[in-house]
Structure 1
Amino acid sequence: MAAIVLIIWTLLILLITTAVRKFNNWWYEPNEKSLAAPLPPGDLGWPIFGHMYSFLRAYTSSNPNAFTDSYLEKYGKLGLYKTHLFSQPTILTTSSDAYKWVTAHGDHFLPGWPDSFNMLFGCNSISLLAGDKHKRMKRLTGPSLQGTDTLARFALQIAEEDVRELETWAREKVINTYDAVTKLIFDRMMKILISCEERSELDEIARIFSKFILAVRAIPINLPGTAHHKGLKARQRLREKLTPVISRRRAGERKDDVLQLWMDQSDDDGQPMTDEELLDMIGGYMIAGHTGSALSLTWFMIFMNEHPEVLEKVRVEAQEVRNTKPPGEPLSYFDTRRLKYLRHVHDEILRIVNIAPFTFRKGRLLKPGQFAAFGEGQRACPGQQFARLNVVIIAYYLALDYK
């Protein structure tokens, strides 16, 4: 009798587990059948959570490619797979051809960000907009970080302050590299964005921002104590910090920064950006311009230590540029355009820490269309030139003046 009960319970557990495991497939099956073309192979995982656990486990490990590799091994090298991430069905792209096709046909696609991202970034964030709204926002904000005159002006500010910050590092016996780099990048970003330079204010905003950024890659469960819940609270506190800055500008205060450039712009109908649009854009640019730059600069220091022959080539090129300048003159934007080898090294580092196996390929020159760390087509990151500029300037001084 006991054996029969055990068998029944075992079968019942297996049945329930199978039903739960297949729930997403059953739930979305009607939508799949209504499509003109079949969806790519894949698996939608568990209800609500999908494959988020596997995704986050790989993302935080020493091998972030493990998640996509599992699809390649199971379904073959097709380039497109269906999965379930951030509480919604998702198409995963792993081939450059598929990626280029999607970015080249941007008008045929709508952003598929999960609702949790809308809650964190705001509905006016350029990453979440589509169609005419996206084009309008890109026209209003793009020139602020893409124009040659603007980049040249900001480059001098960055270079002068980087020199002082690196001298501070040199006086310390020991520094935590990533923490020091993160602080440096954050300080530059806040000065360029909103002219924030006061140390106490920078530290307070940085503390708030650190909680906000953790929620971006957290499971979107809005319960007290969760990273997502803390992130939403941090977002509100961040907006409370930024709102008075915008109000002072509305009242007539002017600064030489990105926010001022945005506020001076108007669309085709003569309408300027609203306060809500400005708040969402500042938050979005803080995320886009901070973490990636801090990581790539940290990895630059690591890989240059591991590849002294590459560092020597970087130094030779940097010294050639310095020799053409008056003594003590800071690096300019136009100087950074001449640092071609250093820029290629930066691209190679971005490639390593994003998509490809962890092998630094010395002097590797990527073919056009194979490198897309900043996106492509209509969805290309409008701040990519500034992000590159920030890292290249610091790397230049590190390579020339420090070990």
Structure 2
Amino acid sequence: MAVWGFVAAAAAAAVVVFAALARWVQEWVQEWGLGRKRRSRLPPGSMGWPFIGNMWPFLRAFKSNDPDSFVNSFIKRFGRTGIYKSFMFGSPTIIIITPEGCKQVLMDDEHFVTGWPKATMELIGKKSFIGISQDEHKRLRRLTAAPINGHEALNSYLQFIDSTVESTLEKWATMGDIEFLTELRRLTFRIIMKIFLSKANDNVVESLEKVYSDLNHGMRAMAINLPGFSYHRALKARKKLVEVLQTVLDERRVTGRRDAPEAEKDMMDGLMEAKDEKGRKLTDEEIIDILVMYLNAGHESSGHITMWATVFLQEHPEVFEKAQAEQEEIRRSKPPMQKGLTLKEIRKMEYLSKIIDETLRVVNISFVAFRKATCDVFMNGYIIPKGWRVQLWYRSVHMDPDVYVDPKKFNPSRWDGSPPKAGTFLPFGGGSRLCPGNDLAKLEISVFLHHFILGYKLTRLNPQCPVKYLPHPRPSDNCMARITKV
């Protein structure tokens, strides 16, 4: 027995030594080119294991019921420095978790460019806003502002969004038990496809929805292009999505829609007609990548946030009552002959806007953003080496008790008074690369909540079911529930 005990102890010691050696090798390989002086200025942290780095503890945390445990492990081991070295998504990376640090990076376009993981870049598109240079970004931003977030564009989308939400809620109230999140994602996809491609039939929309779901699941995955992996399925989905959009583009170039009434034109028409100051139009690749990018903002994010906002409203009766009073006042103030909502009425929904902002903060749909340093940058006495990736952990900012009192509590009243300090509220990012679809997403959410609050009730079947956090936070049962008309 003594011999076996000695063997077991020796084996355990060997494992510990091997683990320490493997981590030391990983750190040496990733840092050796910096030189001793620059290495000494790196922030504290861990490079993890060879090849996989810190991805395993990251995935383990986000597949548990405590996603914050990943960043908290850095704080526990290395102190509350707010900046840590790591190895994520195949690259040496600096993690930043403070409002000040996030603000500095987001506002500094000269020293930080986009640095999204390979999987995201390939799936969203190299000509989307996340993959292009700062000059190209400014050009595309100017060209797409009016067709997507302009006042006239939002006003033209509003009537369709409003009528579609009303009819869909009526339908859900007759269906019995439904996967509320799944149905919401179908609703928001139908809306965004109508905005993108007004003439797309229901069969095309339904097939594209399935394709986009596969694409979205590969966004935060490791870039392993082998059968059975999320990234492999997502690449195939991307190819199918591009083929469909390219076919529509080709058909429109042949048939032409230049003379179509403005009321019948959709987002694709707007992008095809847009010209910059030099008369240059968008290429097909630019149009397709921009549309794929907006699918994420106008469909995926808005569907999830709408679900969580509805759930929070049902869980907090005092919040629901206050929101209901505001929406009833808006309904009472409508002119008798007016059909549907107007943008002016949407902007009067001040308390509802606070509910949406609080939902965005608590849920953290976009929990991290990615940049890359173009030169050595110093922050808090530490170096961010040239070429290293930078991860801005919005989730850590939103859940920091020093920034938000009792951060896990859903409390829309925390938004009363002055607007949040720069860098403390980042649901759509910040700086020049602020998410361009934020106005459209909030419009969709506001319209849905207006009609839901005034006429419906949500009863969840499994209110205590666990939450999955990748690729977005959601109940594991996709919020099985019953919608009741009241």
Fold conserved between structures, TM > 0.5: yes
1:47 aligned onto 2:97: no
Over residues 7-65 of structure 1, what are the superposed CA-to-partner deviations in whole Å (9 max), with x where a residue is unaligned? 88766655543332233311121344374992322111112221122222323333322
Is the partner of 1:344 in helix, strand or coil? helix
1:375 aligned onto 2:429: yes
How much does 1:323 deviate? Answer: 1.2
Q: Is the 8 A contact 1:156 1:333 kept in 2?
A: no
Q: Which among 227, 230, 234 is matched to residue 233 of structure 2?
A: 230
Structure 1 residues 253, 314: CA separation in 2 closer, same or farther (over 3 Å shift)? farther
What is the distance in 1 between the residues matched to 2:85 and 2:38? 14
Q: Which among 293, 306, 309 is matched to residue 302 of structure 2?
A: 293
Query: Which shows bigger deviation, 56-65 or 225-234?
Result: 56-65
Q: Which among 289, 293, 298 is matched to residue 284 of structure 1?
A: 293
Q: Is the 8 A contact 1:32 1:38 kept in 2?
A: no
What is the distance in 1 between the residues matched to 2:159 and 2:190? 15
RMSD: 2.2
What is the distance in 2 between the residues matched to 1:40 and 1:135? 33
Structure 1 residues 47, 289: CA separation in 2 closer, same or farther (over 3 Å shift)? farther
Query: Which shows bigger deviation, 40-49 or 53-62?
Result: 53-62
Q: Which among 312, 316, 332 is matched to residue 307 of structure 1?
A: 316
1:397 aligned onto 2:407: no
Q: Is the 8 A contact 1:121 1:283 kept in 2?
A: yes
Q: Which among 328, 332, 341 is matched to residue 331 of structure 1?
A: 341
Q: Which residue of structure 2 lines up, in the alignment, with residue 320 of structure 1?
A: 329
How much does 1:317 deviate? Answer: 0.6
Q: Which among 231, 246, 267 is matched to residue 243 of structure 1?
A: 246
Q: Which among 68, 72, 86 is matched to residue 69 of structure 1?
A: 72
Amino acid at match of 2:343: Y
What is the distance in 2 between the residues matched to 1:8 and 1:385? 61
Is the partner of 1:175 in helix, strand or coil? strand
What is the distance in 1 between the residues matched to 2:409 and 2:203? 41
Q: Is the 8 A contact 1:32 1:39 kept in 2?
A: no
Q: Which among 397, 411, 436 is matched to residue 361 of structure 1?
A: 411
1:210 aligned onto 2:219: no
Q: Is the 8 A contact 2:48 2:54 kept in 1?
A: yes
Q: Is the 8 A contact 1:187 1:197 kept in 2?
A: no
Structure 1 residues 96, 152: CA separation in 2 closer, same or farther (over 3 Å shift)? same
Structure 1 residues 62, 8: CA separation in 2 closer, same or farther (over 3 Å shift)? closer
Query: Which shows bigger deviation, 308-317 or 165-174?
Result: 165-174
Amino acid at match of 1:69: N
Amino acid at match of 1:390: E
Q: Which residue of structure 2 lines up, in the alignment, with residue 124 of structure 1?
A: 127
How much does 1:107 deviate? Answer: 2.3
What is the distance in 1 between the residues matched to 2:256 and 2:125? 26
What is the distance in 1 between the residues matched to 2:137 and 2:357? 27
How much does 1:265 deviate? Answer: 0.9
Amino acid at match of 1:295: H
Amino acid at match of 1:364: R
How much does 1:5 deviate? Answer: 8.7
Is the partner of 1:268 in helix, strand or coil? coil
What is the distance in 2 between the residues matched to 1:330 and 1:259? 25
TM-score in terms of structure 2 length? 0.78
Q: Is the 8 A contact 1:124 1:281 kept in 2?
A: yes
**What is the count of residue pairs matched by the alignment?**
402
Is the partner of 2:84 in helix, strand or coil? strand
How much does 1:282 deviate? Answer: 1.3
Q: Is the 8 A contact 1:121 1:280 kept in 2?
A: yes
Over residues 105-155 of structure 1, what are the superposed CA-to-partner deviations in whole Å (9 max), with x where a residue is unaligned? 122212111222222222111112222122122122223222111111111
Q: Which residue of structure 1 lines up, in the alignment, with residue 474 of structure 2?
A: none
Q: Which among 174, 177, 180 is matched to residue 177 of structure 1?
A: 180
Aligned counterparts, 1:132-281, within 5 A: 132-195=135-198, 197-254=200-257, 255-281=264-290
What is the distance in 1 between the residues matched to 2:131 and 2:28? 29
Amino acid at match of 1:321: I
Q: Which residue of structure 1 lines up, in the alignment, with residue 471 of structure 2?
A: none
Q: Which residue of structure 2 lines up, in the alignment, with residue 386 of structure 1?
A: 440
* Higher fraction of strand: 2
What is the distance in 2 between the residues matched to 1:68 and 1:166? 40
What is the distance in 1 between the residues matched to 2:50 and 2:411? 41
What is the distance in 1 between the residues matched to 2:159 and 2:32? 57
What is the distance in 2 between the residues matched to 1:59 and 1:198? 37
What is the distance in 1 between the residues matched to 2:131 and 2:274? 21
What is the distance in 2 between the residues matched to 1:59 and 1:14? 26
Query: Which shows bigger deviation, 93-102 or 136-145?
Result: 136-145
Structure 1 residues 292, 226: CA separation in 2 closer, same or farther (over 3 Å shift)? same
Identity score, percent: 34
Structure 1 residues 379, 31: CA separation in 2 closer, same or farther (over 3 Å shift)? farther
Is the partner of 1:216 in helix, strand or coil? coil
What is the distance in 2 between the residues matched to 1:377 and 1:214? 27
Is the partner of 1:41 in helix, strand or coil? coil
What is the distance in 2 between the residues matched to 1:5 and 1:57? 31
Over residues 39-98 of structure 1, what are the superposed CA-to-partner deviations in whole Å (9 max), with x where a residue is unaligned? 322111112221122222323333322222222222222222122211112221211111
Q: Is the 8 A contact 1:190 1:196 kept in 2?
A: no
What is the distance in 2 between the residues matched to 1:168 and 1:296? 21
Q: Which residue of structure 1 lines up, in the alignment, with residue 59 of structure 2?
A: 56
Structure 1 residues 219, 340: CA separation in 2 closer, same or farther (over 3 Å shift)? same
Amino acid at match of 2:272: M
Is the partner of 1:82 in helix, strand or coil? strand
Q: Is the 8 A contact 1:196 1:202 kept in 2?
A: no
Indicate the structure whose relative CO is greater, using CA pairs within 8 Å and at least 6 residues apart. 2
